[in-house]
Amino acid sequence: MINLLPNLRRFALSLCRNPDIADDLVQITVERAFAARNHYDPATPLAAWTFRILRNAWIDMTRKTRNHGAQIPIDDMADGPSVDGRQVTEARLMLGSVEAAMAELPDQQREVMVLVCIEDMTYAEVAEILETPIGTVMSRLSRARINLAKMLGIE
């Protein structure tokens, strides 16, 4: 479980785009997983099980806070020291463009894109987490990639 914490936090950040809320989601996920450990099926990958718990926690949190108004996401995280240069600048600009474009994707497409492309999960694992057919995962990922490419001006 400890090894999954960075992955869970990344996924939580992709869902809520707020580090404080992401930390809360990870904590809720770990608490729920520990409380339901007797219901865990060892045939199911632990990552898939915990990612599904996290996603359900996010849905629960969203439903509860729907009437609390909009939350402002943190745009930039603190940057560490880096080497100046054209390549570093171009890479940062591209990363910023990709982050902005990812934020514009519909939630369902962004979820699939993060789980497959960043978390390196299989379509089957993502389908299990999102509780959707594999074909739906593949379709959402395809649309996400097309939309992302259009937003970034990549043909």
The pTM of this model reads 0.54
CB neighbours (10 Å) of residue 127?
20
Burial class (CB in 10 A: 0-12, 13-18, 19+), 76: exposed
- Rounded to the nearest 10°, the torsion over CA 39, 45, 46, 48 is -100
Q: What is the pLDDT of residues 94-143, one digit of tens each?
A: 888 888 888 899 999 999 999 998 888 899 999 999 999 999 999 999 99
Q: Cβ distance 22 to 9 under 8 Å?
A: yes
Task: Give residue 124's pLDDT.
Answer: 92
Higher pLDDT, 82 or 19: 19
| pLDDT averaged over every residue in the chain | 86
Q: What is the pLDDT of residue 111?
A: 92
CA distance 122 to 65: 31
